């Protein structure tokens, strides 16, 4: 979607995407050449059910605004199947409707942490 909106979706990318949909084997070289890691920034409201539950239980009612700097890499099931941590992350993101995750260092504003 993003590449299409930027008019950067090539025939090579479409062919690889169709290959993924057909369940054909992919290589890491396919992915590097076709879906390179891209760097982005996001400033705006962030929300997910788990955060809402934690905040509600803590008696906090507010909307979190965040500034994230991050690189995006697609988690393609065929390529991450031998990495249990990435498979677990991918499944968790799909279950919770999370579009992207960042490392703690990627969040520059309104990072939720435990305070002791």
18-71 pLDDT, tens digit each? 888 888 888 777 777 677 778 888 888 877 677 778 878 888 777 777 787 878
- Domain boundaries in the chain? 1-36
CB atoms within 10 A of CB 37: 10
Which distant-in-sequence residues (6+ apart) come within 8 Å of 76 by Cβ? 20, 26, 31
d(CA 19, CA 24): 6
pLDDT tens digit string along 5-31? 667 778 888 888 888 888 888 877 777
Q: Is pLDDT larger for residue 92 or for residue 44?
A: 92
The pTM of the whole model exceeds 0.85:
no
Q: What is the pLDDT of residue 115?
A: 52
């Amino acid at each position: 979607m993003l590449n299409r909106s930027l008019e950067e979706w090539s025939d090579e990318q479409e062919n690889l995407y169709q290959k993924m949909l057909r369940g054909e084997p992919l290589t890491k070289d396919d992915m590097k050449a076709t879906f390179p890691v891209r760097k982005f920034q996001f400033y705006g409201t962030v929300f997910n059910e788990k955060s809402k539950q934690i905040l509600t239980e803590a008696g906090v009612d507010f909307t979190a605004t965040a500034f994230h700097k991050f690189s995006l890499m697609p988690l393609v099931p065929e390529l991450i199947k031998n990495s249990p941590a990435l498979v677990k992350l991918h499944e968790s993101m799909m279950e919770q409707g999370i579009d992207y995750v960042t490392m703690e260092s990627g969040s520059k504003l309104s990072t939720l942490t435990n305070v002791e």
